Structure 1
Amino acid sequence: MNWILLIIAGLFEVAFAFCLGKAKEANGMEATYWYIGFLIALTVSMVLLVRVTQHLPIGTSYAVWTGIGAVGSVIVGILVFKEPATFWRLFFMTTLIASIVGLKVVSH
């Protein structure tokens, strides 16, 4: 269950990065709504991360959480914000995914 919560926390990290990107593109009240979404996603992500670290190693939890956030943010950047999908970005994203899986495998 803790690994599932950790994945959800990582997805909320992607959500708050997405909200920041959308807020940057918006003006007025629309930007305010995106910043509110950012704060909500940030809060949920942090609360879940704190809860998970009560049961899983902090180093592994934090690395997996940031890894999910990093990979998810790159994917969102490519798909939503039209950022370039260069070979090297995809290569290093793949190595990051392999590292996350490796941490899961060696954690007790």
Structure 2
Amino acid sequence: MSWLILIVSGAFEAVWAVALSKSEGFTRPVPIAIFVVAVVISMAGLGIALRELPIGTGYAVWVGIGAVLTVAYSLSTGAESFSLIKVALILGIVGCVVGLQLVSESH
């Protein structure tokens, strides 16, 4: 269950990162509200997951999921330019996240 919570909270990390960029320096109320809700869910989920997962592995997976989803969003919306090298590097992050999950031992 900790892994599922960690994955969901990693997805919310991407939500708050995108909302933060859309807030235009905390001047737009809707993105600010989305940011606040998503950051609370994301951090709470990370905290809950880390009750049973090692901190290094849990944090790396959380950040990796958030980074991959944030870049995927940026590429899909055209906010960031697409290149095969970016895709290859993102796939490398995915591989590392999966690898950490496979070799991790819960407390």
What TM-score comes out, normalization by structure 1 length?
0.90
2:56 counterpart (21, 37, 59) = 59
Cα distance in 1 for residues equivalent to 2:61 and 2:84:
23
Query: What are the superposed Cα offsets for residues 7-56 of structure 1, whole Å, 9 maximum, x if unpaired?
Result: 0000100110121232239x96xx11111110110011001101110111
1:96 counterpart (79, 93, 96) = 93
Cα distance in 2 for residues equivalent to 1:32 and 1:81:
24
- Give the aligned partner of residue 10 of structure 1: 10
User: Structure 1 residues 81, 43: closer, same or farther in 2, change over 3 A?
Assistant: farther
Letter in 1 for 2:35: F
Cα distance in 2 for residues equivalent to 1:101 and 1:52:
16
Please report how far the alpha carbon of residue 81 of structure 1 lies from its aligned counterpart in structure 2 after TM superposition: 4.4
- Give the aligned partner of residue 19 of structure 2: 19
What TM-score comes out, normalization by structure 2 length?
0.91
Letter in 1 for 2:37: I
Could you say what the CA RMSD is over the residues aligned between the two structures, in angstroms? 1.7
Please report how far the alpha carbon of residue 80 of structure 1 lies from its aligned counterpart in structure 2 after TM superposition: 2.3
Whether 1:47 aligns to 2:47 is no
Cα distance in 2 for residues equivalent to 1:104 and 1:74:
21
Cα distance in 2 for residues equivalent to 1:92 and 1:79:
16
2:83 counterpart (78, 86, 90) = 86
Cα distance in 2 for residues equivalent to 1:22 and 1:55:
34
Cα distance in 2 for residues equivalent to 1:100 and 1:37:
26
- Give the aligned partner of residue 34 of structure 2: 37
Tell me the number of residue pairs that the alignment of Structure 1 and Structure 2 aligns. 105
